[in-house]
Structure 1
């Protein structure tokens, strides 16, 4: 049974939302970040990264308290306003290729601890601690964790009907995404939705494992039992058929001392290899990899006798690549921190991957077939952890649209 709650969100006023909302500041290159901060005084980036020119000289705690102070300034100036009644929020994001619609709610930290909220990624303790401290001293969360729920026709029909009405706001981003938000604050309607989720056994984290772990840690340290906000996690719940899962392709700087011919000979032990010369290649099925090496594309199809797996993790293409190529042949043990490997989102063209390798910093690239939501759920249900950078999942939520105060 999944527990969800409404909450009094802090939101930009309707006339300012298009100027306030922003991507995560980590997604901005330096010049773009500086331009936003210099020329858009309403950008939520001013809250996320105040006094950005001297951040390296400020302690983490002081920096996070500055975030809170700037946040309070935005509220004082009525750039951000808190809703008067608890509500849930329907949020729709339309990109140039996809449309995503989900609901923004609070989900239970108890459900997280009791594994009713399922995980499939490993977290880094240092990063979790930093995020926990950020939430503690800034006293808000503006980036919901993306979670999926099983397809539910009743809920989807309700969302569809609700989104036919005029939205509380509608705006386009510089990335040409259209965003809509509907506030639902009718108590009977909220109770009806809560009852639907009480019949759902599990929610699955699709994106935001560090944020959820940080929120759980913050809840554990909560010394004020009257502050129940810390018992819940800002979440964007979306039907599992409405997420888009992309792959992360791999770039490796060298062949670990192997000559090209010797490397391909080693690959032949596990894969049926087809040299496609200059023809760009994208895998079309599981257990098929693409490779770009020495100005040529290759298809690598796992041999049938090697296609024997005991767990969902073993059958994952990213794990197959790691176990058969990256670790034994290229001596890459740590997929997260080894400086010889980097990752390119499957949203980017493989011609971009080719261009990067042709520029000379990397020697070989591996192109993967994307995982699907069923694989992610199977791993989570078995308490297994995906290799780092196995999936790039959409939708991505903009900051400053719906803020959950802690």
Structure 2
């Protein structure tokens, strides 16, 4: 189903490779203001292209790319290839070293209704427009989205393992993750990757706004060119593809902070309303909440007024969940939380109103959630379990989307290892010879 292509990547000059750490940056949607300030101080850092500044930010990115190409800061590889990208990491409290294995390539920018690339969350139009303008002006992609295919036989890992023995780059990033980039330029091997993906659907794990920006740009170019063949470079999108069957694919929970309780609701009244839908049990140790709810369906930790509670939905109550969505979405813990807490208890009615409500914040750090409540920066914290890969796949194949901020695939990819062009000139090089 999915058509992928090798690319002639643009990469930092070999002269800069020994200091590649200085040029990589986090994805635009996870970089903090403090990180940004430090990264912008380096005139060659990739953040100037992925998160450009100024009133004409897209224009600034284009000027920067043009300067880098003219000065040989960025050089294009002579041959097209698939760029193998491994991320070695550990999780807190575990001695195990994980390795997420994948590769970067161009994939056709399929419309959602084609049912080849599947989404699991909605997007915000303003964010899509910003990324689409950047793509239209620069015609260069610097931030690969993250896609998942399922291959229980692990047919491609042998070739990727072989490639990373001769890395192009190695670095330790801002997450403490060791990132390794390599390339496969053997035409026969590339065709094996293409043949396997041609039978697969791809679930978009991360980067929905960037992917929709590629869709928007492709549609605009198609509308402007009646002779377009569908194989021009701008029909394709840069994606990092990993195997959903791998045990090294980790999804971390994103907790919910209630910054306010509408209607001057007191803590006591809030607990009373929650008791209409949940079994509410006080807990002695707030820091034990993740363990208390681990593996339990429709269970949450609550930290309110310095007191910890375990909440679990009363089973007979679930039938009251009336949102028009699929059974797969209704079964999710986070759907239960958003419906029974945000809608039924707090009166924030409907997914759209909840997405736009400023009274909820999404926080990945469990300890930060408790600290925010203790500092009175938030009224309450809801601690959640992580979403499983099985749940992600079932929701995507049902044609529905999850509540906002349901998944946090870890680790995040970094920017700066690879840039790819979708300019018309790319159609005239050896790119197509590997198809």
CA distance in 1 between partners of 2:417 and 2:139 (Å): 16
1:386 match: 402
1:45 match: 47
Of 274, 277, 286 in structure 1, the residue corresponding to residue 281 of structure 2 is: 274
1:25 Cα offset (Å) = 4.5
Unaligned runs of 5+ in 2: 92-97, 423-435
Cα distance per residue 1:108-158 (max 9 Å; x no partner): 124655111111111122221221111000211111111111133242442
Please tell me whether residue 254 in structure 1 is matched to residue 260 in structure 2. yes
* 1:253-332 equivalent positions in 2, closer than 5 A: 253-256=259-262, 257-280=264-287, 281-282=289-290, 283-284=293-294, 285-308=296-319, 311-332=327-348
Contact 1:3-1:111 within 8 A present in 2 as well? no
1:236 Cα offset (Å) = 0.5
TM-score, with structure 1 as normaliser: 0.90
CA distance in 2 between partners of 1:244 and 1:12 (Å): 29
TM-score, with structure 2 as normaliser: 0.85
The change in CA–CA distance for 1:157 and 1:30 in structure 2 (over 3 A counts) is closer
2:234 match: 230
Contact 1:25-1:33 within 8 A present in 2 as well? no
* 1:29-40 equivalent positions in 2, closer than 5 A: 29-38=32-41, 40=42
1:385 Cα offset (Å) = 1.5
The change in CA–CA distance for 1:229 and 1:237 in structure 2 (over 3 A counts) is same
Contact 1:278-1:295 within 8 A present in 2 as well? no
Please tell me whether residue 73 in structure 1 is matched to residue 92 in structure 2. no
Of 358, 361, 368 in structure 2, the residue corresponding to residue 342 of structure 1 is: 361
Q: What's the RMSD between the two structures over aligned residues?
A: 2.1
Please tell me whether residue 217 in structure 1 is matched to residue 216 in structure 2. yes
CA distance in 2 between partners of 1:74 and 1:141 (Å): 15
Cα distance per residue 1:201-235 (max 9 Å; x no partner): x1111111111111011001114537711111111
The change in CA–CA distance for 1:263 and 1:46 in structure 2 (over 3 A counts) is closer
Unaligned runs of 5+ in 1: none
Range with greater deviation from structure 2 (271-280 or 284-293): 271-280
Contact 2:105-2:238 within 8 A present in 1 as well? yes
Task: Give the count of matched residue pairs.
Answer: 393
Cα distance per residue 1:374-406 (max 9 Å; x no partner): 111111111111111111112311112111112
2:433 match: none
